[in-house]
Structures are given as structure tokens and as C-alpha cells.
Chain A
Amino acid sequence: MAFYVVQFLTGLASAASLFLVASGLSIIFGVTRIVNFAHGAFYMLGAYVAFTLTERYSGALGFWGGIVAAALAVAVIGVLVEMLLLRRIYHAPELFQLLATFGLTLMVEDLVVLIWGPDDLVGRRAPGFKGAIDFFGQNIPSYDLFLIALGPIVLGILWLLFQRTRWGILVRAATQDRDMVAALGVNQKWLFTSVFALGVFLAALGGALQIPRDAVNHAMDLRIIVEVFVVVVIGGLGSIIGAFVAAVLVSELNAFGILIFPKISIILVFLVMAVVLIVRPWGLFGKPEAPARRTPGLTVNPWRPLTTNERFAALAALLVAAALPVLNNPYLLTVGSEIAIFVIFAASLHFLMSVGGLASFGHAAYFGLGSYGVALLATKAGLPMIVCLVLGPIVGLLGAAVFGFFAVQLSGVYFAMLTLAFAQIVWSIAFQWVSVTGGDNGILSVWPANWAAGPAHFYWLSLGIAALAVVILRIIVFSPFGFALRATRDSPLRSEAIGINSKRIQWTAFVIAGTVAGVAGALFAYLKGSVFPDNMGISLSVDALVMVLLGGVETVSGAVIGAIVYKALNIWLVSQTDLSKLVLGGFVVLIVVAFPKGIVGTLEALLHRRRKSASSSASPLLASRIESAE
């Protein structure tokens, strides 16, 4: 019995640190709607800075003072990030801020190694909390008890802050209805900055408090960020109590789950999240989100098919690309093949995100299913390459059909997180089912057949399929189905009122996107000659998101350019420097600031403006629009 009590308390201690970080993320998201990917980076910075301070200043004051000072210092960094970077892009398309914070995260991962060195750092134990307390023969670390107490205390302070102060009331109001706060004449800028600072402070505090029990290292951010997102979503976005309950739930399920299934930790949080989202689509304590109001006038120009001239230009560019083998550089051709494959992958996500308005955080699942499909068919069934290339993507299709059915019942961030959960579940199956998938050692020797084995041949194959995939997706965009899909994205209310079954349309789109991703995955398996769980990992899903956002989420085919730029740069940087993350992250941040609508989106806007000013007088429509924009 004593054991179960202690196990429960241990779970509570884990929950406390999770809660600190999660509450910060939840507050930031609730008010600013920023999916703050850098939250883990702030957590890690908190730990690093606290390590330095607590090593430098001795004694209890040095320790506790160091912890708090570290959290404050990182909060200041957070304020700078908010003011210098995020403020510029609040009006960018949804999720664009994710791109900025992703870039920051990449940079921080390399920076901490540059500043603090590569070794794991083990900090001091907390003065006064070094030992353990005997509980019927079981030991409970006193620091755990401290954390257990701290969780509810922080919860209480936050509750008071939100219930009893004017600032807190504003924050709550902003969480429920952002437009209203803007209308109330509140200085929204500073409200956002202060909220961001508080969120970052909590993350850094969570990180700093890990010093006595963890090793500070440059991978801490990734360890926590996904888990924290999951906790926030399970609890319900913007709900602090929800974050607390979800942190406890996840930690306790883990503490007791490993007694029965020792391998459960790897997948547990995602299973919980999938179940919660299917049963309660807005999390345990969340409220249904009011559909985002689109400010009239801020929308994009209607999409149109390419003109004849543009078609010729695209064809010419394709022909130029097809002539690449004349350079007779096999490495370049494999890189070209890889880029073409990522064009397919990014285009498939773009279809779901831009046309369908469904941002998937787990799109790699269908890429991975395609490549595992190919690998299993080729190695276990010994089927020829051409058959595998056709059948492999069907595995992606089937996966998308099953998961998509549940995912499209949700929308917005909840949709994103459910797709992430499904992707992680698929990933962990690939990771754990060693007898079939080879586990993390993957499946080897999936090399292409002779007709496609030469780098030039494989390049032409990839390029051809990429061009075909992009053209087909474009045709679908401008087909009645594509319009119906955009209709469900633009106005769920109106589309339902004109007889459109949104869920079925979105489900179909999900299946199309999953299948095309499967095509990319199938080709990728042959390009690399092997498949690994990485092929369906979070980082691949994030890469795809970044490509789409970089190209421009409001464009018809911006993902193509986004994929080419990001992938080429990534391959080149990894080859040239060990600090590829720092440079790539810096580049992403620069792009975000310079091209707030993505590369293609910004170029389009520039071109549009030039055309507009060329056609002289502003239209009377525009004038009346400004009047009615109130």
C-alpha cells in the first residue's frame, strides 16, 4: 500500500514540473493564439542559466535566488523575442508564428552548445531538499515533496492573478474573445507582451527547477515541448486548471502504467490525447472555440488557374530541371530527387492546410506509411519496384482514411494535435514492432530496380512524379471538389447552409493528401534504400509544415517553392557546417520577418500591389469596404 502512495506522490512530482511549463504555454496560446514552438527552448534556457547562476553563487540564497533570477532573465529574453519578432507577425496567416518560434528553437539548440559546451551538466541539489523522507519503508525525495507543494501553489497564484487583478481579467477576456479586447481599447501590444513574458517565465522556472534532478543538456527542449503541447490540449487550450489536471493525469497514468506495461511511456501521452480528443473534442476543461472571425478585407486575392503564359513558363522551368543530368554530377541528382520528393510531400500537406484549412501536425504518418508499405512489399513480398510504387501509397491512403475520419471531426489546433497523436501512434508501432518493422534499425535494402537505379533515371522519375502530383493537386484545387473544400474552410456555416457535407469533403481531402504523401514516402524509401521510424517522426511533420508556411499558406502552390528552398538549404547547410541548425533557424527567422506571407505569398502581394497602382484610381468598392470594416 505504501508503495502505491509513494508511486502516486512520485507521479505528482513529475506532474508539477510538467504543469509549470504547460501552464505557460496555455496562457500564451489562449491570449495570442501563438503556437509557441520555442516554449521548450525557453525551458531549456531556464535550466542552463540557472545552472550557471547556482554554480556561481553558493548557499541557499545562491540556489533559490539563482533559480528565480534565471527564470526572470529568460523572461526578459522572451520579452525581447516578442517585441522584436512576434509583434511583426501577429497579422500574418495563422500558424506563421509557429514558423518563427520553430526557427528560434533551432537557433537556441546550437547556441546552448556554443555557450555551455557539449557535455551534460549536472547541477547542485537544492539546499534543504537533498535527502528523502521515509514513508513506511519507502523513500520519498524531499525535493519531490517540494515540487508537489509547488504545483498547487503556482496554480493558486495564477488563479488569483486571473481572477483578482485587472490584468488577469483582461487576459481572460482576451482568451475568450480577442477581437473584443481590441475593441475595448486595451493596449493589446502590452497585454500580449506581458502574457508572453509570464508564459516564458513559467517555462524557464520549470526548466530551472529541474537542476537538482536532471542533467542540463541541449536536447531538453525537444524532450518536453511535445509532451507539454499534449498536456495543454488534453486539459483544454487556455485553461490553467485543465493544464494542471492533464499534467496530473498524464503523470499518474505513466507512473502506474509502467508497472503493467513497462514500454508504455513512449506512447502513453499520445494515446491519452487521442482518446480525450475523440471523446471530448475541446479537451477536458476547454470550451468549444468560436469560429475565428475573418476580418473583412484582410483576405487574399481569389485564386485563379495559371494563364497560358504562366503555363509555358512552368513547363520551361520543368524542362530546365529535367536537363540537370547534363551536369553529370550524381550527387546533385540525388539531391534533386530528394527535393522533388519533398515537393510532393509539401504539396500534399499544402493541399490539406491551404485548401482545406486543416493544418496537420502529423502529416509524416502518411509519408511514413507509404515508405513502410513499399519497404515491406519489396523485402517481405519481393514485389517489383513498379508494383510497390503503386501499392505503397495505398497504405498511406488507408491510414489517412482511418485517422482522417476521426481527425476531421475536429478543427484548428485540436485537429492538429489529433493528427500529431495519430502520427506518434503509428511511429511507435514502427518503433516497437521490431519483428515486422525492424524497430529503430529500420528496414534495409529497398533499392530501386535497375531501370530506375541510375541517379539520372531516379531523378527523372521523381521529378516526373512531382510535376504530375503538383499538376493533379492543382486541378483538384480548381475542380468543384476543390471549391467545396475551400468553402468548408472559408465558412463552415455557409457551406453547411448550401448543402455541403463538410466532414465528408474534408475527409476526402485528408485521404487525397495522405495518399499523395504516401507517394512521396514510397519514392523516398527507394531513394534512400531503407526506411526508419524517422520517416514518420515529428521532425518530418514539422519540416513539412515549415515548407508550406515558408512558401506561403495562402497561395495555390507556394509549398513547391517552400519545399525547394527549405530542403535545398537544409541539405547544403548540413553538409557545410555542424551549426546547420543555427544558420537554418536564423534564416527561417529572417524569412519570417522579410516575407510575412511566405516567399510566394509576399511576392504575389508585391506584384498585386504594383498592378493595382498601375491601374490608377482606387476602386469605390475599396472605399466603401473601409467604411464597413467596423
Chain B
Amino acid sequence: MEKMTFDKHTSAQFNAELEGARKHLMEMGGLVEEQIEVAFKSLIDVDTDLAEKAIKMDKNVNKMELMIDKETTQILAKRNPAASDLRFIISVTKTVNDLERIGDEAAKIAKQSLELAESGSGPQGFVELRHIGEKVRQMVQGSLDSFARLDADAALAVMHQDKAVDLEYGDAIRTLVTKMMEDPRTISRALSVMWALRSLERIGDHARNIAESVIYLVKGKDVRHKKLEKVAEQLRK
């Protein structure tokens, strides 16, 4: 398939509407990326101000979600999009949904950092947290980039990363559980860390969903619930 474009419609209005939805989606992506950054930093630095800021940012993300949903609904109603346009609208709708959930998870992480700050001590298990956090942040960035560049290969890379994150998440949980057994006083703190890890892992899953939407958009192939090897094989065809 040739390079996808969303201009060149006979209706210039339609071009503008699609471009509007795309631009807003990218803005929303940027907002969510920043929110993850802030929430994550608040967790590492045990900074309550940053945590508050990350929670507040979720409101803006929600607003963006409503706006983009309205735009896509209107395009669906007015334009009867077909083929690549239809796939674009479907992907945008799904991606918006995933981004909103990522925003929710980021807010949850911020809440955990508030809890940790209250208990007043440096976090254990932060090595894993830092590592996984960095990876998940890259995944979100990668998925949004692949959407912006309509790059199915980049999207596939994100899906691969998700698999690695899932493995590391399992390892981190096991380490934390061992520590909790060794020293029961750390249980409440370790639980907070575990919740934060859980949220990061969920963010990774949503980033993977976005990558799947990108592949559907670009290749017209539904790659959900499929083994990665098979997906890669399908994309090569």
C-alpha cells in the first residue's frame, strides 16, 4: 500500500475536519505524556506538589477526550467515512479512549506518591520502578510517534516492548513480595509501590492497544489478541 494521506479529499472541509481530529489527538497525547512524566517524577522525588499537579492535569485530558469524541462523532454522522478514513476515525476513537485511561492511571500513580510522602520515607523497590517507568514512558511516546508517522513497524516495536515490560513487572512484583515477607513493617509502603507498578503496567497495555490501532489504521489488519510472531508475519506480507 502506498503512503497514506488524509488530505486530497474533494471536500476541503472534510480534510480540515480529519486534520483537526488528528491534531487534537496529538495534543492530547502530548498532555498525557507530560502527565506521566510529572506523576512519575512526583513518585521518585516524593514531591507532593508535582503529585497534585499530575492529578489536576487529568481534568484537561478528560476535556480533550470529550472534545475529540465529539469531533469523530460528527465526522461519522456527516461524512460516512469509508476505507482509510473509516479506519482513521475508528483508530482515533480507540486511541482517545486508551489515552484517557492512561491519564487515569497516571493520576493513580500520583495518588500513590502522596500516600508514600505521608508515610514519610524513601521508597524501596524504586530501582524496578524507575526502570519500568522509563520503559513505559518510551512505549507511550513510541505509540504516539507511530500514530503521528503512520508507521506500522514502530507500532510493532511498541508491542514487543510491552511484552518485555510485562516480564519485568512480574519480576518486580516477586521481589517486592519477598521483601514484604522479610520485613513486615514495609508492607504498606511496598503495597503503594506495587500499586504504582500495576498502574505503569496498565499504561504499557494501553500503549500496546494504541500500537494495535495504528497497525489497523495503516495496514487495515486487526492484530488484537494475536501472538506477536504471527502479527510480525502478517505485517511482512
Chain B binds chain A: no
